[in-house]
Amino acid sequence: MSEIKKILFKDKEDMEKCFSIRKEVFIKEQKCDPKDEYENEEESIHFLLTKNTIPCATARYRKTEKGIKMERFAVLKSQRGKGYGLEILKAIINDISTTKCTKYLHAQVQVVKFYEKAGFKKVGEKFDEVGIMHYKMILA
Domain region containing 36: 2-98
- Flag whether 61 is in a domain: yes
How high is the mean pLDDT of the chain? 95
Within-domain flag for 23: yes
Within a domain: 13: yes
DSSP 79-132: GTTSSHHHHHHHHHHHHTTT--S-EEEEEEGGGHHHHHHTTEEEEEEEEEETTE
> What is the tally of structural domains in the chain?
1
Task: Tell me the pTM.
Answer: 0.94
The answer as to whether 128 is a domain residue is no
pLDDT for res 35: 85
In a domain? residue 110:
no
Band the pLDDT of 1: cuts 50, 70, 90.
confident
pLDDT digits (tens, 9 = 90+) for 5-32: 999 999 999 999 999 999 999 999 999 9
Q: pLDDT per residue over 93-122, tens digit each?
A: 999 999 999 999 999 999 999 999 999 999
Phi, psi of 119 (to 5 degrees): 105, 10
User: Would 39 be classed as within a structural domain?
Assistant: yes
Are 92 and 58 within 8 A, CB to CB? no
In a domain, 131, yes or no: no
DSSP-assigned letter for residue 35: H
22 lies in some domain? yes
CATH code (residue 56): 3.40.630.30
Q: What pLDDT score was predicted for residue 36?
A: 86
Residue-wise pLDDT tens digits, 51-94: 999 999 999 999 999 999 999 999 999 999 999 999 999 999 99
For residue 96, what pLDDT is reported? 97
Band of residue 38 on the pLDDT scale cut at 50, 70, 90 = confident
